[in-house]
Amino acid sequence: MKFAGALMAALLLAAAPFQINDLKNRTHANDPDVRRLDPLADQAVEPPSTTLAEGDRAPDFSYLSEEGRWLHLHDLLEAGGVLLAFAPSEEQLAVLQREREALLDLGIVPVAVLDRSARFARAVRTRLGLEYPIIPDMRGVVAGQFNVLSTATQHSAPAWFVVDRRGTVMGLGRGELPADGFPGLAAKAIGAPPPGAAVSTGGR
């Protein structure tokens, strides 16, 4: 009996550091200051993805801004609707910049989602002179919620979504991005006249 008691005490003593370390790790992970510094902490609790169609509510995804703040889709929608462009090429990024004013005239903010690092996103923004939001999504968290992850590569496939300021998907296209003409896509999605179209007043 004494031997069994001594053995049990030794086992509990040996396990104690692991139990303490596990408790520290759990406490550390739940510390809001630590979570704010860890860009993967909040992304791990994103809601599961669903297949989106026109008329569905877009996932209110979160992302880490260049200023180091966690923002959500609803923060972007405060300025109006958005056109989310997933996996654009550098040429398409430049096109979005050229067509930015036409999109803003429609009440639509262009937003590019890149499956690259935050460092790359900052570099390409500076090099191309981009004046619209760039969201780094290297782990495919945002792309997964919009069902645009390639099953072969687990990287984002090209796609676009027009979301109105209420968070409703008004139009979408998967598999490719247009070479240009984003304002036309956005106008059709929200039921607005194409950019540059003459507006009839009903008079003669």
Residue 145 burial class via C-beta count within 10 angstroms: exposed 0-12, middle 13-18, buried 19 and up: buried
Classify strands 134-136 and 159-163 as parallel, antiparallel or unpaired: unpaired
Q: What is the pLDDT of residue 199?
A: 56
Average pLDDT over residues 44-69: 80
The torsion angles phi and psi of 109, rounded to 5 degrees, stand at: -100, 125
* Rounded Cα gap, residues 83 and 106, in angstroms: 11
CB contact at 8 A, 115 and 156: yes
pLDDT tens digits, 70-127: 999 999 999 999 999 999 999 999 999 999 999 999 999 999 999 999 999 999 999 9
Percent with pLDDT over 90 in the chain: 61
Q: 59-183: what fold?
A: Glutaredoxin (3.40.30)
pLDDT of 201 = 53
**DSSP codes of every residue in 92-123:** HHHHHHHTHHHHHHTTEEEEEEESS-HHHHHH
Confidence of residue 200 (pLDDT cuts 50, 70, 90): low
Angle at 117 between CA 88 and CA 66, to 5 degrees: 95
Q: pTM here?
A: 0.73
Which range has the worst mean pLDDT, 46-50, 97-101, 139-143, 173-177?
A: 46-50
Characterize the bridge pairing of strands 62-64 and 159-163.
unpaired
Helix, strand or coil for residue 57? strand
